[in-house]
Amino acid sequence: MSIATQLQKIKESLPENVHLIAVSKTKPVTDLMEAYEAGQRIFGENKIQEMTEKWEQMPKDIQWHMIGHVQSNKVKYMAPYVSMIHGVDSLKLLIEINRQAKKYRRVIPCLLQMHIAQEETKFGLNEEELTTLLASEELKTLENIKIWGLMGMASFTDNEKQIEQEFASLRQLFEKHKDIQSPNCHLEYLSMGISGDYKIAVANGSTIVRIGSTIFGGR
């Protein structure tokens, strides 16, 4: 099945309020352009260098989302163009994103990554760390970032009940904190769900899904 056909199929299965990120990591620009020609404008990458190379080659009406783990020393390479950074898991990283965004007179939207999986390998904040970060006085001084929501990854398992519980726990955290309103914090988006589990994520309130292999085929 072609990339365009797969895209259309997924889009038809998603509610109107759910945004689709086409996860294009490791895929050639020709594949991304096929998705672009089919109307897709939001792409997700997990390596800053690869994302930057694609940004340089592709049309400039594309929104580039950084969905992988972010190293502070690499932020400067994507600061001129990135549309949203999903994997923010520390105040230190927010401070660096803010510093780099300032150079380009930009406000960079960010999502805070929560640790919801039972796997130790996944990055993210726990609830206590989230509460501390959102209440931080230093956060309020950062004028070149905006926290738009939360992001999480479920465990890599076939146990749908476990996946559902993990997504439900993230939804509860989101609901608990979404009344926090400040100039640089407005929890509007909940990013959870990938190719194998996005339907469970949507059923649990996800508003951004990150889908790669179902669109582009396996790695």
Residue 118: predicted pLDDT: 85
- Give 80-129 pLDDT, tens digit per residue: 999 999 999 999 999 999 999 999 999 999 999 999 998 776 689 999 99
- Give 25-38 pLDDT, tens digit per residue: 999 999 999 999 99
Residue 180: predicted pLDDT: 86
* pTM of the shown model: 0.95
What's the mean pLDDT when you consider all of the chain? Answer: 95
Q: Which of 64, 24, 1, 20 is nearest to 201 (CA)?
A: 20
Beta pairing partners, 85: 66, 110
Q: Which CATH superfamily is domain 3-216 in?
A: Alanine racemase (3.20.20.10)
User: Do 98 and 142 meet the contact criterion of CB atoms below 8 Å apart?
Assistant: yes
Q: Is the pLDDT of residue 139 over 70?
A: yes
User: Do 61 and 86 meet the contact criterion of CB atoms below 8 Å apart?
Assistant: no
Q: Let me know if 4 is exposed, middle or buried by CB neighbors in 10 A (0-12, 13-18, 19+).
A: middle
Q: Computed from CA positions of residues 88, 89, 95, 99, in that sequence, does the dihedral angle turn out positive or negative?
A: negative
> H or E segment at 69?
none
Domain boundaries, the chain: 3-216
Place of tokens 């949507």: 202
Q: Is the pLDDT of residue 219 over 60?
A: no
